[in-house]
Amino acid sequence: RKEVEQDPGPFNVPEGATVAFNCTYSNSASQSFFWYRQDCRKEPKLLMSVYSSGNEDGRFTAQLNRASQYISLLIRDSKLSDSATYLCVVNKAAGNKLTFGGGTRVLVKP
């Protein structure tokens, strides 16, 4: 079983719609959680950190469920520019080794 698992998609989303997807992690000792965005053939870029109480950044909302060990990302009012692969990232307790999921591909279409 992979440490961080994501639905690879693609999620085909009409422009203006809402899309949500999850990732699950296996290490209950994980401390920090992030969503990174990666455009085709580019480097991952930090989209947002995920806090225990949930947090919002504009059209993006992240939630953390420690009991069930999953993280979610919701995108409202999708834009064409939101088309990308979204990587779920977990930071283990004992240092800064980031563990990535395989990514969820999102395609926003007109």
Partner 1 sequence: DAGVTQSPTHLIKTRGQQVTLRCSPKSGHDTVSWYQQALGQGPQFIFQYYEEEERQRGNFPDRFSGHQFPNYSSELNVNALLLGDSALYLCASSFLPGTTPLDTQYFGPGTRLTVL
**21 versus 34: smaller Cβ distance to partner 1:** 34
Instruction: Compute the distance between CA of residue 60 and CA of residue 102 in angstroms, rounded to an integer.
Output: 20
Interatomic CA distance for residues 18 and 16, integer angstroms = 7
Report the residue from 25, 44, 73, 82 that binds partner 1 according to the rule CB under 8 A: 44
Task: Name the segment binding partner 1 (CB under 8 A); options: 12-20, 61-69, 71-79, 94-102.
Answer: 94-102
Residue placing its CB nearer to partner 1 in the complex, 83 or 99: 99
Q: How far is the CB of 37 from partner 1 (least distance, A)?
A: 11
CA distance 57 to 20: 15
The angle at the Cα of 15, spanning 12 to 20, to the nearest 5 degrees, equals 55
Told to check if 72 binds partner 1 by CB under 8 A, we report: no
